[in-house]
Structure 1
Amino acid sequence: EVKWTTIMEKFPPSSIRKSKKVRRLVKQGIPDSIRGKVWLYLADAAKYRRPGLYEQLKTKEPLEIYEAIERDIQRCYPNHVLFHEEHGVGQATLYAVLKAYAHYNQEVGYCQGMGRLVGLMLMQLDEEDAFWLLVATIDQHLTGYYTPNLGRLRVDAEVFEHLLASHNPMLSKHLTENGVVPLMYVTQWFLTLFTMALPWETVLRVWDVFYFGGKCYYCNKFLFRVALGILDVSKDWLLHQCPTNSELLSYLLHLPVEKMRSDDILRAAFKVRLRRQEIDRLARR
């Protein structure tokens, strides 16, 4: 914790991306006690913050999208102590952040999946900090993911299909022959930043590295690496125990906790070598 406090006090986030020492700290996992603050720092959320704006957004006239938000928050982390009570403090705070964001970014408004992000942020941060982290995350890391047609996500799903074919041809062939295309499973994985796919400790460790990666307006290489890592640790099971479309999708949308340990997933992800130029080339096709 002391190391992170010193780093945050002394260095702007953009200056630490190439530091092997900081990368090692991130890979070890950020301490729970300051994890949210470190995410804010790594995301450079401070550059978006405008004093008083969040409170102002909360007082604006209701939007039509509020109904969809209210429906969805009931399904966000229903077993977590912060959100299990209907219309309780946690749900009210989640609702407030999402409503404010709908006004802040009217082009995006609200999209399913955003509630999962904000819910996790609220477990680590206070209400306004969670709002500004959401702003930074969507603007810098998930640009185009939450548009009505999910345009960027569709492109990334196609890119992922090519990456999987070159990285793991046998598994790619097995999935394709059974009619399983990446859009069927990476939609859930990417839109919720793996919060519906991976066990809790693994999700937190993935988010640590995700934010350390810095802004990535056109591609998020690390999302691809984690997804390929998940498939690498699952390869034998998928090839030999899932001979049909329904069995494959059942596995991919309900990943077994025991196979998704944080150390195993991150080790597999870090072994994946991807070139940004290759990803950009595939995205432009």
Structure 2
Amino acid sequence: RNKSGGKRRISCQMSLMSGTLESLSGLGEDGSSVGSDSEINGLTVRRTDKYGFLGGNQYSDGGDKEVRVEVARQREMKWLDMFANWDKWIKHRFQKVKLRCRKGVPSSLRSKAWQLLSNSQELLLANPGKFEVSLSQGEAKWLDIIEKDLHRQFPFHEMFAARGGHGQQDLYRILKAYTIYRPDEGYCQAQAPVAAVLLMHMPAEQAFWCLVQICEKYLPGYYSAGLEAIQLDGEIFFSLLRRTCPMAYRHLKKFKIDPILYMTEWFMCIFSRTLPWACVLRVWDMFFCEGVKIVFRVGLVLLKQMLGSVDKLRELQGMYETMERLRNISPDMIREDILVQEVSVCECVCLVPCFCFCSQP
């Protein structure tokens, strides 16, 4: 009986791991492109939300909290003042920069802020023309894989809905350029949604250098073959969960749900395929400022929200039910303001090393 039970558990784990990798590839309910340009321009297309989504799980129905115009203007002026004296702010008033990132970067200035926070702008200026030069090269095997993945990235967003459209073309260029820039690493499927988010906010060349910083400074080793870095961080994450939410820890331990089964997509895609879009942007604002510890904190908050009470666990009687909950987080379960507040008070994760290029220990 023990051997039989062990085989069943291994089979379940293999099946779930396969599902995790499939999800990372973009396969599934949202895995098909909306279609061609003619379909996009036809009668079937609905109005986009304020983030550019035509539909899908991350479409916003307009219920997001709106910032008053005068408040938005004040925030923009504060950020413009920081931009004008960026080095001084980072060196001498970093805590204030961090606080403003936690409040949310103004949408009109998010591109500039992310580039400065990540130091990708400095990389761009130090490597004039390198992005364009790299586009004339490329290894065939990576290019074929990249091309197959393009239509799977945010197929309900106006930038990427049309097959062969400008968004998909720029995404192809960025991912191809990275395989030339780092031929030893090549291409990882989780890079595609990350690059797509960057493209929603900045031109292709700027997005490329921002992607380089994410891969090399923020999440080093995450996109290498073998997933060794993400597995190691999975062990760290699980030990932190034991301290912050013992109930969730015991539940996952009981059903032998390894962290890599759910955190692969969360961490490698920086929650871009997991959370409501307003939450995604706030997480990325904090991530670019404070580094990888934000990813850990968000993961801990999500598990506490979904598995942190007896009532919630009553609905999850097994491995599959639990995994279904972790892979399909209901927008009703997490609100933008609550998420940011919980992330801010999750102080224990400060022990996690921060790879953010500009942040302080």
Give me the TM-score of the superposition, normalised by structure 2.
0.73
Describe how 1:1-285 pairs up with structure 2 within 5 A: 1-12=76-87, 15=90, 19-49=94-124, 50-214=127-291, 220-234=292-306, 235-236=308-309, 238-274=312-348, 276-277=350-351, 279=352
Structure 1, residues 56-101: CA drift from partner, whole Å, max 9, x if none? 0011144311111111111000010100111111111100110011
Q: Is the 8 A contact 2:138 2:176 kept in 1?
A: no
Secondary structure (helix, strand or coil) at the match of 1:65 reads helix
Counterparts of 2:103 and 2:197, CA distance in 1:
20
CA distance in 2, matches of 1:19, 1:134: 23
| 2:73 alignment partner in structure 1 | none
Between 4-13 and 174-183, the greater mean CA deviation after superposition: 4-13
Q: Whole-Å Cα distance in 2 between the matches of residues 36 and 83 of structure 1? A: 19
Output the CA distance in 2 between the equivalents of 1:62 and 1:34: 36
- For 2:109, what is the secondary structure of its paired residue? helix
Q: Distance in 1 between matches of 2:98 and 2:264?
A: 28
The CA distance in 2 between the partners of 1:81 and 1:151, in whole Å, is 35
Unaligned runs of 5+ in 2: 1-75, 354-361
- The CA RMSD measured in Å over matched residues stands at 1.7
Q: Which amino acid letter does the alignment assign opposite residue 176 of structure 1?
A: K
CA distance in 2, matches of 1:158, 1:263: 29
Which whole-Å CA distance do the structure 2 matches of 1:156 and 1:35 have between them?
A: 28
Contact 1:17-1:213 within 8 A present in 2 as well = no
Question: How far apart in 1 are the matches of 2:146 and 2:88?
Answer: 33
Cα offsets for 1:108-141 (capped at 9, x unmatched): 2110110100101000001111011101111110
Deviation at 1:270, TM superposition (A): 1.5
Q: What whole-Å deviation, never above 9, does each CA across 1:160-209 have from its counterpart, x for those lacking one?
A: 11111121112111111122221110001001110111110000000000
Aligned length: 274
Q: For the residues of structure 2 that align with 1:106 and 1:30, how far apart are their CA atoms?
A: 34
AA paired with 1:164?
L
How far apart in 1 are the matches of 2:277 and 2:91?
27
Alpha carbons of structure 1 residues 198 and 114: separation in structure 2 relative to 1, 3 Å = same
Deviation at 1:269, TM superposition (A): 1.4
Q: Distance in 2 between matches of 1:240 and 1:188?
A: 25
Residue identity over aligned pairs, in percent, reads 31
Unaligned runs of 5+ in 1: 215-219, 281-285
- After TM superposition, where is structure 1 displaced by more than 6 Å over at least 4 residues in a row? none
Residue 18 of structure 1 and its aligned partner are, at CA, apart by: 5.3
CA deviation after TM superposition for structure 1 residue 2, in Å:
1.9
Shift of 1:12: 1.9
> What letter corresponds to residue 8 of structure 1 in structure 2?
F
TM-score (norm 1): 0.91
Q: Is the radius of gyration larger for structure 1 or structure 2? A: 2
Rounded to whole Å, the distance in 2 between the matches of 1:16 and 1:115 is 33
Q: How far off its partner does 1:261 sit? A: 1.5
CA distance in 2, matches of 1:191, 1:93: 21
Corresponding residue SS for 2:348? coil
Match of 1:283 in 2: none
Distance 1:191 1:61, change over 3 A: closer
Corresponding letter in the other structure for 2:233: D
Q: Give secondary structure in 2 for the equivalent of 1:12.
A: helix
Q: What's the offset of the Cα at 1:14?
A: 7.7
For residues 36-72 of structure 1, what are the alpha-carbon distances to aligned partners after superposition, in whole Å with 9 as ceiling and x for unaligned? 1100010011232200101100111443111111111
For the residues of structure 2 that align with 1:200 and 1:212, how far apart are their CA atoms? 19
Q: 1:144 to 1:18 in 2, by over 3 A?
A: farther
Distance 2:191 2:231 in 1: 17
SS at match of 1:198: coil
